Amino acid sequence: MTLVFLVLTLAAIAFDLWLDRRQIAYLRRHGGSVPAAFAGKVSLEEHQRASTYAIAKAKLEALSLATNGLFVILMAYAGGFALLYGEVSTRFTGYPGTLVLVGAFMVLSGLIDLPFGLYRNFVLEERFGFNRMTFRTFILDRLKGLGLTIVIGAPLLWLIDYAMRHAGGLWWLYAWAIWMAVNVIAVFAMKFVAPLFNKYEKLDADLLRHRLEALLQKCGFRSSGIFKVDGSKRSAHANAYFTGFGAVKRIVLFDTLLEQLDNDEIEAVIAHELGHFKHGHLQKRFTILAVSSFAMLALLGWLAGQDWFYRVFSLQQSLFTEMPVAVLLLFFMVSPFVTGWLRAGFNHLSRRDEFQADAFAAKMSNAGDLAQALMKLQRNNATALAQDPLYMAVHHSHPSVEERIGRLTPA
């Protein structure tokens, strides 16, 4: 069984690396000329810059994948996790041991990811003119994230640890209920957490605000306000989104979006976001999260009772009695490489949702304005126009700009 798990993990890593290679080759092959659909709309220089940017991101993604894949193989199949557990369990027991084990694993994972985060922001994004983050902000973000992880994660870990020790064979059901409750609470808590990282202000552009408020009323959307966030503090990329449920729904516009688009285009973009609300896409995604996490924890509930599962990772079944959260940690370390094949299905559903939101925006605002906004965002964000179809099918949650504009402005 160790060989089976190892082969599945290696196959998943190899498949993703092959996709990255396909993407890079495709971008190089089509980077020399602007696609016919964008002739006269995008210059050759802009097209080549976007292709070069996408190639650089794909190379970094491949290196990060290979490094993290090697880390998982060493930890799971070469005895690294068993060694870490042995060192912790000889010094700590019970919940303190759980905290130390999870903390140590997070430190190791963070050290693996840190160089990639630094390179992504201060080399790759800087090279293409997108980075606006200072090293001080980079460090502060991580310290704040660490603080939130401790404040929120420690009590959550205790609850799950308690359930796994005292709830018998249905511990996984209690763990699932705790996890889903945390996700619901997080939706409401974001109102207080998000300002720790960015500055949120009520939109003060009177004309635009009145137009958007009229659009919200037209769409039957009640929100706690329309906000501007200082996204330019970290990046030149532009975005907009709505978040929350019930009385805490809010519209958020990046200041970079306000700089790059005119009022007609911003209204069309917000109409698109409202399309997600009108079609219940957030609720659907929450349902998918609930069902998939239920299935994963149910599977782990069964695996936790199988002696062979522990032997796969050079461990003993007594681990579940001594430090049960270790089983959870190990499972979720290796499971992405086994279940990653489902990404294409989830992303297909996401792309379908984007088309639905575009169609809604075309009815509630102006299809031409949304198409023009997509073109501006493509240029300003250096989104590659020609990308490998298979890579996009697996990795992309949004359709290509060409597909979206083609549906908004059919010939």
The pLDDT tens digits of the residues spanning 310-326 come to 988 888 888 888 899 99
**Res 101 pLDDT > 70:** yes
User: What gap in Å lies between CA 197 and CA 250, rounded to an integer?
Assistant: 17
Beta strands 226-229 and 250-254, pairing class: parallel
pLDDT-based confidence at 352, cuts 50/70/90? very high
Q: How is residue 170 annotated by DSSP?
A: G
Q: What is the pLDDT of residue 72?
A: 92
CA 277, 156, 296, 298 torsion-angle sign: negative
Q: Residue 182 in contact with residue 149, Cβ under 8 Å?
A: no
Distance CA 316, CA 309 (A): 9
pLDDT for 335: 85
Among the listed residues 125, 265, 267, 358, the single catalytic one is 358
Binning pLDDT at 50, 70 and 90, where does residue 205 land?
Answer: low
Active-site annotation holds for 273: yes
How far does the chain reach from its first CA to its final CA, in angstroms?
A: 55
Identify the pLDDT of residue 411.
Answer: 58
Q: Are 198 and 231 in contact (CB under 8 A)?
A: yes
Each residue's pLDDT tens digit, 212-240: 888 888 888 777 678 888 888 888 888 88
* Sheet-wide strand order for 250-254: 200-202, 226-229, 250-254, 240-243
- What is the total residue count of the chain? 411
Helical (H) or strand (E) element with 200: strand 200-202
Choose between 169 and 205: higher pLDDT: 169
Selection from 65, 2, 53, 67 nearest residue 24 by Cα:
53
Phi, psi angles (nearest 5°) of residue 327: -65, -45
The token pair at 25 is 């080759």
Confidence grade of residue 357 (pLDDT, cut at 50, 70, 90): very high
**Residue 240: enclosing H or E segment and its boundaries?**
strand 240-243
* Confidence class for position 208, pLDDT limits 50, 70, 90: confident
Q: Which is catalytic among the residues 20, 161, 267, 273?
A: 273
**What integer best gives the mean pLDDT of the chain?**
89
pLDDT of 83 > 90? The answer is yes
Interval 53-64: pLDDT, tens: 999 999 999 999
Other beta carbons within 10 Å of 185: 11
d(CA 180, CA 399): 29
Closest CA to 88 of 75, 80, 98, 73: 98
Please write the tens of the pLDDT for every residue from 254-310: 888 888 999 999 999 999 988 988 898 888 988 999 999 999 999 999 999 899 999
Q: Which residues pair with 228 in a beta bridge?
A: 201, 253
Look up residue 240 and give its two tokens.
């907009």
